[in-house]
Amino acid sequence: MPIKIIFFDMDGVLVDSHDAWFEAAKSLLRMWNEDITVEEFNQRCWGIPFGSAWRRNGMPIENMKVAAEMLHREYLKQAEKVRLFDGVAELFAFLKSKSIKTALMTNTPKWVAEKVADRLGLRFDAFPDLTQLKPKPNPDGILVTLKSLDIEKREAVMVGDTPTDEQTGRSAGVAFVMVGRDIKSVAELPGKLGL
C-alpha cells in the first residue's frame, strides 16, 4: 500500500530547537533557584514530556502547570534560535507533489508549536493537539488523525528522534523511522521509504 501520511515529531526532526529549549529551561529553573547544565538537560529533559521531566528533576508538583506555561513562554522568547534542518522545506514540497499528507506529532502545546511552525513556513495537513488528547508516547494523536482522514495504519509512517517517538509510532501500529538511527536527517526520508 502506498504511504498516504507521514507524522513528524518537531524538535530534533524538523527543527533544531535544542538551544532555545535549553535556554528556556534554564530561565525557568532560575525562578526556583535551580540551575541545569547542557549535559543534565540532555539527560533529564530532552525528548521527555514536560510533566515527566518536571517530576524527574524533583520539582514541586503543585507548581507544574504554572511552570509549563512559563517554560513555553520562555521558549517563544528564544524562538529566533529555532532553525529548520537542511532539506526540510524541500522534503515538504516533494511530499506535497506526491499527495502525501503531513501531520505534526509534538508534545509541545499546539499554540506554541503553531507559532514556531508559522515563523518557519511549515504547513501541516493535520496537527493533533496532544494537550487535548494524551501526550506521546500515547498513540491517540496518530489514531485520531488516521480515523478523521480515513487512512489505514499501514498507509502511515511516524518519524521521530527519541525512544518516546518510537514508542508512539509502534503503539499506534504504524511504521517508524528514527532520525539519527535509520536516517541521518529527514532529507533522506524519500529514499528510505522508496518514494
Quick one: 95 and 163 in the same domain? yes
Mapping DSSP to helix (H, G, I), strand (E, B) and coil, where does residue 5 land? strand
Quick one: 89 and 71 in the same domain? no
Quick one: 76 and 103 in the same domain? no
Counted domains in the chain = 2
Quick one: 111 and 62 in the same domain? no
Q: 189 pLDDT exceeds 70?
A: yes
Quick one: 103 and 61 in the same domain? no
Q: Is the model's pTM score more than 0.85?
A: yes
Q: What percent of the chain has pLDDT over 70?
A: 98
Residue 168: predicted pLDDT: 96
Residue 61: predicted pLDDT: 66
Quick one: 128 and 189 in the same domain? yes
Quick one: 93 and 141 in the same domain? yes
Domain coverage including residue 134: 5-16+83-193
Domain end (from 60, 80, 100): 80
Domain end (from 48, 65, 80): 80
Residue 129: predicted pLDDT: 84
Quick one: 63 and 128 in the same domain? no
Quick one: 23 and 40 in the same domain? yes
To the nearest 10 degrees (0 to 180), the angle between helices 18-30 and 64-77 is 130
d(CA 137, CA 189): 22
Domain end (from 80, 107, 126): 80
Which residue is listed with cell 511516524? 158
Q: 34 pLDDT exceeds 90?
A: no
pLDDT tens per residue across span 123-181? 999 999 877 888 899 999 999 999 999 999 999 999 999 999 999 999 999 999 999 99
Given phi > 0 = left and psi -120 to 50 = alpha, else beta, which region is 194? left
* CATH number for 95: 3.40.50.1000
Residue 29: predicted pLDDT: 82
Mean pLDDT across 100-111: 94
Long-range contacts of 173-178 (CB under 8 A, 24+ apart): 173/139, 174/7, 174/142, 174/146
Quick one: 73 and 117 in the same domain? no
Backbone angles phi, psi at 79, to 5 degrees: -60, -25
Mean pLDDT across 40-57: 77
Quick one: 72 and 96 in the same domain? no
